[in-house]
Amino acid sequence: MAFDLGITYMDTAHTYGAGRSETLVGRVIKSRRKEIFLASKMMERNGDAALRLFDLSLKRLQTDHVDLLHIHKLETEEELAKIEGKGGVLEALYKLREQKMARFIGITCHNFPGPLKAAIERNDFDCVQMSLNAALQGVVRYPGGYKPDPTIATSFEKVVLPVARKKNLGILAMKVLGQGHLVGEEPNKAPAEKLLRYAWSLPITATMIGMPSPDMVRQNAEWARSFTPMSELEMKEFSQRIATANKAALDRYFYCHADT
């Protein structure tokens, strides 16, 4: 149904449901492979182990290649050093890209802009996936206009997005609804459509949106078809309101969060 509605990007990972996600995707995508841009992710940091797991992913997905393979969930500079080191997973991804088993390679991060910035500055990635939503990037109204809130200087939007644009990477936004925590009618929440409009108004390639019901798939596809960008002022006003109420809590939540 999602594919029939025009959704052409499918995001999965080796760890989602202990492989069940890739298995379910594979059952459908095998007959529609040329229509869909297929992305998966790898938590493994050792190169040889990553290659073995990638072979398993291809079997589950019933394909001979993926369009994008990510190093999943970067957290610290120390972890980045392992990823980049001899025998690390980055060497394995370079090899898979050379062999065209992964057309593009990328890296994802939930809550640590500093290490992610370093990763894309130092290495040859094609894409980056990061948490981008109105609550994680706030601004404060000053006399005469708006300025970034110094307490929100660590947001991906402020730290990583400019670097990704400079390197001309594919930019993928995730957690645009704050794992659902930002959605609601209360004064400190927002309708899902407005949160999506904010993310879609950023200079990004695509958004990763969890859709656990068919109605959500239909609704999100409809919103995407009728999307109009927010103005810069509208984005700043919305971000200032939603970030003031939610950023600290979201930072704590994503600090220990892992998709499964």
156-to-46, 163, 209 alpha-carbon distances in Å: 26, 10, 18
Determine the residue type at 181: H
Residues of the chain with pLDDT under 70: 138-153, 255-258, 260
Looking at residue 31, what DSSP letter applies?
Answer: T
Q: Which two tokens stand for residue 158?
A: 């402020």
Q: Return the closest-CA partner of residue 203 out of 255, 128, 256, 136.
A: 128
pLDDT of 210 reads: 87
pLDDT of 135 reads: 87
**What is the per-residue pLDDT across 112-124, written as a single tens digit (0 to 9) for each?**
899 999 999 999 9
**What is the per-residue pLDDT across 72-88, written as a single tens digit (0 to 9) for each?**
999 999 999 999 999 99
The residue written with tokens 């220990």 in the block is: 256
243's CB contacts (< 8 A; 6+ apart) are 134, 135, 136, 137, 138, 139, 149, 152
- Answer whether 0.95 is exceeded by the pTM: no
pLDDT of 112 reads: 87
pLDDT of 187 reads: 85
